[in-house]
Amino acid sequence: MSTSIAKKLLVHTYMLLFTMPIIGMIIWYFLSATLNGTTGQFTLENFNFVKEPIEYAGVVLPAIWPIVLNTLVYSILIVVIEVGIAVPTAYAFSRLDFTGKLAAMKFLFLMRSFPGITLIIATFFILVQMNLVNTYLGVILVAITGSLPGRVYIMKGFFDEVPWDLEWAAMVDGCSRFRALMKVLVPYVLPGIGAISVFSFLGAYGEWFLFKLFIFDDNMLTLAGYLSRLVTKENVILNYGLITAIGLFYTIPLVIFYIFTQKIFLKINMGGAKQV
Amino acid sequence: MTLAKKPYKKPLAKKMYPYFFIMPFALLVLVFFILPAIATIIMSFTDLNASMKINFVGFDNFKRIFTDYSMPQILWNTVLFAVITLVFSLFFGLFISIATQYFLKGKLTAVIYRVLWLIPSIIPAVVYVTFWKYLFDPTEGGLINKVLLLFQPDSDPISWFTKIAMAIVIIATIVSTTSGGMILLSAAISSIPEDLYKAAKVDGASEKSVITKIILPSLKWPLMYITISDLIGFVSSYFFILLLTNGGPMRDTTTLSLYAYQQAFNLKYYGYGAALSLLVVLISLILTLWLLRLFDFDEMIKPSRIED
């Protein structure tokens, strides 16, 4: 018995050792944002950015609320468009027969494992030719093309699970194919739609790279793009209090969102394990 | 009679119906995936630059890759970054999943450890890097310099980002990518039936042989998947490096893919950048094929001879 306790102790020691930096990191975010850098006293002055435009590295930053609005508009647009395209595509791949379906599915699989980031230079050139640089439309089109293969793949898994009988029953009762999809199948795959909405939202909320590349107007940035500009502005971060305060302002809603949606993640993880 | 023999021919409207469903997706893929892929190949044969004029130069860009004097360092950086990050994130992923799913199975502490390890990958990258910037800050405001100054009050703060930039980038990437492997490995370990452990215990097997004979063999698939996808990720993406050091100091943390990005977007040599991107794709492809061979992919997809 004592050897098993010693073993547990050993495991805990190692695990605590490995986990320490992460615990330290979490504590630091909160301390850095709420303590005064020089006196070490509790203060909320780092959060002044919610009330007034503030200055960082000698430049007055754009006000935060329009940026929050941009973030919400961009994220919701991405969710709506990705769901709107992924659901019919996954339905076709799961339920309909058409020439080239097998090839298309192989291509989808290849796209998922292809390092899409290597195409960004040519994508930039194409956006310039299409006059879509510095527009939301350009960012959205590039962003959804990168993430849609994954969404379609998850969604197809959900459609595959629905028994055919349901659709047949609906069509025998006089539904058209499309009506059967909307009235019978969609309610059945609602958890899948929920899951891909969550993934799309998280992806859009964290997107900073495409904003760095394709958006030159500071007033069009989202929170992630805004923070990435601040973090990379100088070689050294000049005011950690301010940056972590904005970071917390940006991250805490995300953590709350995670807590409420974690059940969906569990479902997907199990589904994924089954498919592999 | 003849009417019944006639095979059913789908009307054209019905044949076109499925394409209507995949049309938006197909269009997007065509314009923003296939077109850029073709454009990358074409651009790599041009000297496209800030003037945006297409001018074919044959294989000049590829010749330039071989004569580029910073190439040896960049390739070495890429290998160093990809291999060290992969080895350590696999090791930590394995260690944590075995610790939480075997030694501490079902315990509350196991869940806490796993949730804590998930946090670095949940936190947005732009927020995550601020911690590492603070930890290794070159002024006396940085955490490590602060601690060092406590012990040696009269020493100068050390400029970590010029001395060990690559190590910082690697550590930050390891801590954030470990959780991806951890999730898959934990799922695989938790699906091992409890009876196997019990049988091993009855036979007097040591913990070491339980791990090497029961747990590790069942992790071949997830390990292969993680190795391939992580390795391609480390070779082709550069998000953390871009945020942490931007490839500096000098080219100390520039990997091949980041070099392509810098050539294209900082120096506006789009043609040369595209050629470098092609090289990244080629390396990823070779790595994937080589790893599939190494892991004995053909052997693994053969049906099992014991079950059924």
pLDDT per position as a tens digit, B135-153: 888 887 788 888 888 888 7
> In the prediction, which pLDDT does B38 show?
94
- In this prediction, residues B28-46 reach a mean pLDDT of 92
Under 8 Å between Cβ of B205 and B196 = no
Which B-chain residues 139-178 have CB contacts (< 8 A) with chain A?
Answer: 139, 141, 143, 161, 175
> In the prediction, which pLDDT does A268 show?
56
Q: Is residue B230 part of a domain?
A: yes
User: Residue B116 maps to which CATH number?
Assistant: 1.10.3720.10
For the four alpha carbons of B16, B20, B26 and B32, in that order, the dihedral sign comes to positive
- pTM assigned to the model: 0.86
Bigger pLDDT: A10 or B84? Answer: B84
> In the prediction, which pLDDT does B218 show?
85
CB contact under 8 A, A12 and B109: yes
- Euclidean distance between CA atoms B147 and B160, whole angstroms: 14
Residues of A in contact with B280 (CB under 8 A): 115, 118
Q: Is residue B106 part of a domain?
A: yes
Locate tokens 């029953």: which residue?
A169
Which A-chain residues 107-126 have CB contacts (< 8 A) with chain B?
Answer: 107, 111, 113-126
CA-based nearest residue to B242, from B216, B262, B224: B262
pLDDT per position as a tens digit, A52-108: 777 777 777 788 888 999 999 999 999 999 999 999 999 999 888 888 888 888 888
Bigger pLDDT: B14 or A106? Answer: A106
List A59's β-bridge partners, or say none: A56
Q: Is residue B150 part of a domain?
A: yes
- Euclidean distance between CA atoms A114 and B237, whole angstroms: 12
Domain range for residue B144? Answer: 73-300
Q: Establish if B131 touches chain A: CB-CB under 8 angstroms.
A: yes
- Euclidean distance between CA atoms A210 and A139, whole angstroms: 6
Q: What is the DSSP string of A105-151?
A: HHHHHHHHHS-GGGGHHHHHHHHHHTT-TTSHHHHHHHHHHHHHHHH
- In this prediction, residues B266-292 reach a mean pLDDT of 90
ipTM: 0.84
Under 8 Å between Cβ of B257 and A118 = yes
Q: Establish if B180 touches chain A: CB-CB under 8 angstroms.
A: no
Domain residue extents for chain A: 2-43, 61-275
CA-based nearest residue to B49, from B231, B270, B255, B256: B270
CA-based nearest residue to A19, from B119, B168, B53: B119
CB contact under 8 A, A243 and B19: no
> In the prediction, which pLDDT does A270 show?
46
CA-based nearest residue to B124, from A243, A227, A237, A33: A227
For the four alpha carbons of A234, A235, A238 and A242, in that order, the dihedral sign comes to positive
Which B-chain residues 13-32 have CB contacts (< 8 A) with chain A?
Answer: 15, 17-19, 21-22, 24-26, 28-29, 31-32
CATH architecture of A61-275: Orthogonal Bundle (1.10)
pLDDT-flagged residues of chain A (< 50): 1, 269-276
* Domain count of the fold of chain B: 1
Q: For residue A153, count CB atoms less than 10 angstroms from its CB and return exposed for 0-12, middle for 13-18, buried for 19 or more.
A: buried
pLDDT per position as a tens digit, B175-227: 999 988 888 898 888 888 888 888 888 888 888 888 888 888 888 888 888 89
Residues of B in contact with A145 (CB under 8 A): 28-29, 31-33
